[in-house]
Amino acid sequence: MEGVFWPGVFAVFAMYGLVFAVGLVAGRGESGDADQDEVSELLLAGRSLPLWVGLLTMTATWVGGGYINGTAEYTYSSGVLWGAQAGIGYALSLVFGGLFFARRMRAMEYTTLVDPLESRYGKQVAAALMIPAVLAETFWSAAILVALGTTFDAVIGLDNLTLAILVSAAVAVAYTVFGGLRAVAYTDVVQLFLILIGLGLALPFVVDAAGGWGVLLTAPEGGTDPLAGFSSTEETLYYGDWFVLLLLGGIPWNVYFQRVLSAPNPGAARTLSLAAGVLCALMALPPLILGLAARHIDWMALGETANGVAMGGGEVIVGNLTDNPAFVLPYALRLAVPLWIAVLGLGAVAAAVMSSVDSSILSASSLVSWNLYRRLLNPEATADQVARIVRYLVVAIGSLATVVALTVQSVSALWYLCGDVVYCVLFPQLALALFDKHANKSGAIAGFLVSVFLRLGGGDGTLGLPSFLPYPDTGIEGIEFPFRTTAMLCGLVTALAVSRLTAKSDPPTPLAPLE
């Protein structure tokens, strides 16, 4: 295993050991006084998470490996506007969710995102709407595992992608099975602090390697202005389409509501969502600064002079960054900082990944066990049976995500498609279920079909689906008409109209807590 960066390997697996130990200890804190407590504990930590833990676990869930690496990548390749998009979009999503959704959901004492959909539209429609939510969570986990495995390969020098993915998935699944949401929440707290320490210590060294703070907002030699705006109306609309997708599409995820619903009361649910929005925005600053600094680093020289580098030299590093800018953050942590900080930084990247994987696996398992098994297939199931199903599903969905990560090449792109569907399909249905007293099953079905048709009409390269609807051609390569937001809005309007037109034949069901 020549060329392996062994300090980085040891750091990552030490972080895994720490996270696993914290997860096991936290999981033992569950209450077992009654059967129902076991289900509530696994899915919602008994609705008794301390506010500070809820705040940090919600922040850590958003500030995962994709968030950290993606912010640095897009800042490096496309400038501040695109680099900051995810950070600002997801931060505002948490604020928007706190203002309008969190308090209402917690006051109803729901268990999952799908519960209000069932209350309004019935079990069958709710089960259908659950499918894109579960798929999105599963493929998100798989995409993160692939990102971690490829980082191990390209940066640490551990070229066994299968081993990296298997170990990472096994650790996340193990402590989630034993401890449920409480274990996930407390490990998220540890992971968030590891991210802060690792990136915080690395930041001054990376900026120094770039030439100091003064160069960050200037254009590198032969490069573009990092503060450049949009060159056309089409580009502005395209940016706006993705920004609104992040803002509104960040709400209808069970991984978000699992934390909202674990709060001890509605006021706490609202507060933790609002405060997490602020922390989420602040956590985007370190990777954004690192991305700006990386635009000015002489990678050719650094690749030849950094101590202990066995990565093929500067030309290989520059070539890798050209082909895949996603490596910019791991390379900066490996090459531009002292060895001991590099070790902490690479461990922080691994921690960020784990904070996303465990949350998504538990979230998907919660949806299937509660809304499909307990609510639809076996309403007479005891709490003990539901708890066992949750644990089985954590293993099953974690294994599925691992298999997908090992076999599918375009997992990240497939997750983006699932994110599209969550935004286009679930957001309008959730918003109407909670806030429109006229919403009914007919409107939900009609809106669902319209949203799916218009979204698929825009095509998708990942699935090889050509566009079959005549959306306007922007005439700019890589810039599409904002058909995602079009699909969401048309589905919303259709559901509103059909609900009112069918009010007599399909009377709306008042929103109420589930029995």
Residue pLDDT, tens place only, 406-465: 887 555 566 666 778 889 999 999 999 999 999 999 999 999 999 999 998 988 766 677
* 5-19, 155-169, 172-186, 358-372: the lowest-pLDDT one: 155-169
What's residue 154's pLDDT? 57
Residues linked to residue 465 through DSSP beta bridges, in sequence order: 460
Encoded tokens for 450: 């319209």
Check residues 42 and 243 and name the one with the higher pLDDT: 243
Side chain identity at residue 460, one-letter code: D
What's residue 247's pLDDT? 92
Residue pLDDT, tens place only, 258-300: 999 999 999 999 999 999 999 999 999 999 999 999 999 988 8
Check residues 465 and 209 and name the one with the higher pLDDT: 209
Average pLDDT value for residue range 298-315: 65
What's residue 192's pLDDT? 86
Check residues 366 and 307 and name the one with the higher pLDDT: 366
Residue pLDDT, tens place only, 67-115: 888 899 899 988 999 999 988 998 999 999 999 999 999 999 999 999 9
**Cα(70)–Cα(80) distance, rounded to whole angstroms?**
12
pTM of the model: 0.90
**Cα(78)–Cα(294) distance, rounded to whole angstroms?**
12
Q: What is the 3-state secondary structure (H, E, C) of 309-345?
A: CCCCCHHHHHHHHHHCHHHHHHHHHHHCCCHHHHHHH
Indicate if the pLDDT at residue 318 is higher than 50: yes
Indicate if the pLDDT at residue 232 is higher than 60: yes
| C-beta separation of 441 from 121 below 8 A | yes
Distances (CA, A) of 345 to 144, 290, 447: 17, 12, 46
Rounded mean pLDDT of the chain? 85
Domains of the chain as residue ranges with CATH: 6-410 (1.20.1730.10)
What's residue 307's pLDDT? 47
**Cα(89)–Cα(292) distance, rounded to whole angstroms?**
19
Count Cβ atoms below 10 Å from residue 2 Cβ, excluding itself.
5
Check residues 361 and 326 and name the one with the higher pLDDT: 361
Average pLDDT value for residue range 313-338: 79
Indicate if the pLDDT at residue 356 is higher than 60: yes
What's residue 434's pLDDT? 96
